[in-house]
Amino acid sequence: MVRVEFLGPIQKEPLELDITNLSQLADVLQQDETMTEWLQNSAVAINDTLTSSLNVELKDGDKVSLLPPVCGG
């Protein structure tokens, strides 16, 4: 299972999904209309490292995080 976490202002509980890559995650999340805008403006991290490509394999125990637009300071 892969754990998916939604950070900051995204009001969504974590998911535990049986997926093997980020494209599958995109398929799942695009079903959820409340996520449409967040999917377009959020960055993605796998095990706390940012990725800019969907062509990444996921393995059991991996953690995926969605990071919406930031504003520190």
Partner 1 sequence: MLYLYDGGLKVADILKEWYEQELENNYGAYIPFVGTVRSEDGIDGLSFDIYEPILESWFDSWQEKAKAKGAILKMAHARGDVMLHESSYVSAVFSPKRRVALEFIDEFVEAFKASAPIWKYDLKDGKRIYAKDRSTAIEGSGILGEKR
* Binding residue for partner 1, selected from 8, 14, 32, 59, defined by CB under 8 A: 8
Q: Does 50 bind partner 1 (CB under 8 A)?
A: yes
Q: Does 57 bind partner 1 (CB under 8 A)?
A: no
* Binding residue for partner 1, selected from 1, 14, 23, 32, defined by CB under 8 A: 23
Of 26, 45, 44, 46, whose CA–CA distance to 36 is shortest?
Answer: 26
- The rounded distance, in Å, linking the Cα atoms of 65 and 47 is 8
Q: Does 27 bind partner 1 (CB under 8 A)?
A: yes
Q: Does 9 bind partner 1 (CB under 8 A)?
A: yes
Cβ contacts of 6 within 8 Å, gap of 6 or more = 12, 13, 14, 38, 65, 66
Q: Does 59 bind partner 1 (CB under 8 A)?
A: no
